[in-house]
C-alpha cells in the first residue's frame, strides 16, 4: 500500500480542528463539459477534543435514501458540545451515483461496494474507494455504512453486522447493532464479500455496522425514523455523543448458510407468494415467475430451501435470470 501514489482527493476540512466543519472531498475529474472540473463529495466533521472517531456514510449505492436523509440531518444538527471525539459524516459516498439515483456510478459504472481497496490511479469510483481505504478508515474506531434495498430489493428494516473469525471484534459489532435498536437485528453473511467496504474495514480490525432499511428506490417515514434514532444510539453507545441509548425491542435474525438466498432461473414477471416478515416453511413457494413471451406456459416456482422468515424480496415486477428473488432468515433469541 505504501508504494501507491498519493490520493488525488483533497479534503476541504481539517480533521484535527475542533468544532463543526462542512466541506467536501474534492476529486479532480476532467470531462467534456468541465476541462478542469472536480467531483465535490459533501462531508462534515464534528470534533470536540480527544476521544474515539466514528466514520458514518450513506449513499454507498446511489439509489438508497435512508442513510443520506439521516446523515445530512445529523451533519446539520449535531452539537459539538455533546461530542467527545470525532464524527466524520459522508452522507453520499458514491456521490455521482447518488446524484443520478442509480446503484452504480454513471461515470464509470462502478459499484462502490465492490471497488475496495480501490486505486489512486483508477476510475472515479476506485479513487473514492482508495481515499476511504487509506485516509478515512485508518482514522476510525467504529464505521457505520447505511444501506437499503435500492430499486431492486426490499427488506424488513434491520441493522446488521457480520459473523467474523475474530469473535471479540464480532461481539463489539453486534453490541453496536443492539444499540441501534432497529425492529430487526441481523447476524449477516454475504453472497460475495470480495471488494466490499465492509470487508476492508473488518480486515483493519474496525467495528463495522450496516443496515438494510426497506428499499424500492425510495424511503418511508418509518425507516427514516429508524435511521435517525439508530445512528444517535450507536454514537451514544460508542461514548462519542452524550446521552443514554434509547433502547427499543429488536428481533434477532440469523443467516446460517447460503440456503438463505433464492435466485431466479428465468426471465419473466415475478409474483411474490409471501410478504416481508411472514413465516416460511422449507419447501414452500416463495415466488412464481410467469413467462411473458407467450400464453399457456406454467410459472416457474421458487421454493424455500429452509424454514424461517422472509427478510428480503425482489422489488420490481419484472425479473431476470440470476436476480435475487428472496432471502429467508431465521429468528433467534
- Cell representation of residue 219: 424511503
| 2 in a structural domain | no
CB 181 within 8 A of CB 227: no
For residues 215 and 261, membership in a common domain is answered with no
For residues 200 and 298, membership in a common domain is answered with no
What is the CATH classification number for the domain harbouring 295? 2.40.50.100
Residues 6+ apart with CB under 8 A from 298: none
How many structural domains comprise the chain?
A: 2
- At 192 the pLDDT is 78
| 70 in a structural domain | yes
2, pLDDT greater than 60: no
| 3 in a structural domain | no
| 16 in a structural domain | yes
Q: Domain of 90?
A: 10-253
What predicted TM-score, i.e. pTM, was given to this entire model? 0.96
What gap in Å lies between CA 328 and CA 332, rounded to an integer?
Answer: 13
| 291 in a structural domain | yes
For residues 269 and 237, membership in a common domain is answered with no
For residues 179 and 297, membership in a common domain is answered with no
- 3-state secondary structure (DSSP) of residue 325: strand
| 316 in a structural domain | yes
Residue range 120-139: mean pLDDT, rounded = 98
Can the peptide bond before residue 117 be classed as cis, meaning omega within 30 degrees of 0?
Answer: yes
| 1 in a structural domain | no
What is the CATH classification number for the domain harbouring 165? 3.40.630.10
How large a percentage of the chain has pLDDT more than 70?
A: 99
Place of cell 442513510: 67
Q: Which helix (H) or strand (E) element contains residue 229?
A: helix 221-237
CB 280 within 8 A of CB 286: yes
Task: Answer with the one of 201, 225, 253 that is the final residue of a domain.
Answer: 253
| Number of neighbours of residue 248 by Cβ within 10 angstroms | 13
What band does 225 get if pLDDT is binned at 50, 70 and 90? very high
- At 3 the pLDDT is 76
Output the DSSP codes for 256-302. -SGGGEEE-SS-EEEEE-S-TT-EE-TT-EEEEEE--SSSS-PPEEE
Give me the chain's average pLDDT, please: 96
86, pLDDT greater than 70: yes
1, pLDDT greater than 50: no
Residue range 228-239: mean pLDDT, rounded = 98
Task: Answer with the one of 253, 280, 297 that is the final residue of a domain.
Answer: 253
- Cell representation of residue 153: 430489493
| 200 in a structural domain | yes
What gap in Å lies between CA 257 and CA 190, rounded to an integer?
Answer: 10
Of 202, 312, 319, 206, the closest CA to residue 269 belongs to 319
150, pLDDT greater than 80: yes
For residues 231 and 170, membership in a common domain is answered with yes
The model's pLDDT over 181-204, given as tens digits with 9 standing for 90+, comes to: 999 999 988 877 889 999 999 999
Amino acid at each position: 500500500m505504501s508504494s501507491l501514489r498519493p490520493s488525488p482527493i483533497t479534503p476541504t476540512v481539517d480533521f484535527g480542528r475542533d468544532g463543526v466543519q462542512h466541506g467536501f472531498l474534492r476529486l479532480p475529474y476532467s470531462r467534456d463539459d468541465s476541462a478542469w472540473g472536480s467531483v465535490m463529495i459533501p462531508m462534515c466533521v464534528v470534533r470536540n477534543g480527544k476521544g474515539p472517531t466514528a466514520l458514518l456514510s450513506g449513499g454507498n449505492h446511489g439509489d438508497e435514501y435512508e442513510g443520506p436523509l439521516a446523515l445530512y440531518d445529523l451533519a446539520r444538527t449535531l452539537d459539538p458540545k455533546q461530542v467527545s471525539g470525532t464524527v466524520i459524516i459522508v452522507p453520499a459516498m458514491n456521490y455521482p451515483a447518488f446524484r443520478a439515483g442509480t446503484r452504480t456510478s454513471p461515470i464509470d459504472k462502478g459499484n462502490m461496494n465492490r471497488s475496495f481497496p480501490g486505486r489512486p490511479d483508477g476510475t472515479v469510483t476506485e479513487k473514492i474507494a482508495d481515499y476511504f481505504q487509506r485516509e478515512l478508515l485508518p482514522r476510525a474506531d467504529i464505521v457505520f455504512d447505511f444501506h437499503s434495498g435500492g430499486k431492486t430489493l426490499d427488506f424488513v428494516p434491520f441493522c446488521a453486522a457480520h459473523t467474523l473469525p475474530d469473535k471479540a471484534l464480532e461481539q463489539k459489532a453486534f453490541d453496536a447493532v443492539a444499540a441501534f435498536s432497529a425492529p430487526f437485528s441481523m447476524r449477516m453473511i454475504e453472497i460475495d464479500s470480495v471488494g466490499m467496504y465492509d470487508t476492508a474495514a473488518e480486515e483493519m480490525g474496525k467495528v463495522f455496522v450496516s443496515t438494510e432499511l426497506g428499499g424500492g428506490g425510495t424511503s418511508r417515514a418509518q425507516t427514516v425514523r429508524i435511521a435517525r434514532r439508530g445512528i444517535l444510539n450507536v454514537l451514544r453507545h460508542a461514548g462519542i455523543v452524550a446521552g443514554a441509548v434509547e433502547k427499543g425491542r429488536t428481533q434477532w435474525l440469523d443467516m446460517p448458510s447460503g440456503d438463505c438466498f433464492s435466485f431466479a432461473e428465468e426471465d419473466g414477471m415475478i409474483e411474490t407468494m409471501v410478504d416481508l416478515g411472514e413465516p416460511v416453511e422449507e419447501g414452500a413457494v416463495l415466488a412464481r415467475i410467469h413467462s411473458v413471451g407467450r400464453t399457456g406456459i406454467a410459472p416457474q416456482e421458487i421454493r424455500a430451501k429452509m424454514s424461517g422468515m422472509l427478510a428480503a424480496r425482489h422489488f420490481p415486477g419484472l425479473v431476470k435470470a440470476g436476480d435475487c428473488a428472496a432471502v429467508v432468515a431465521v429468528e433467534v433469541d
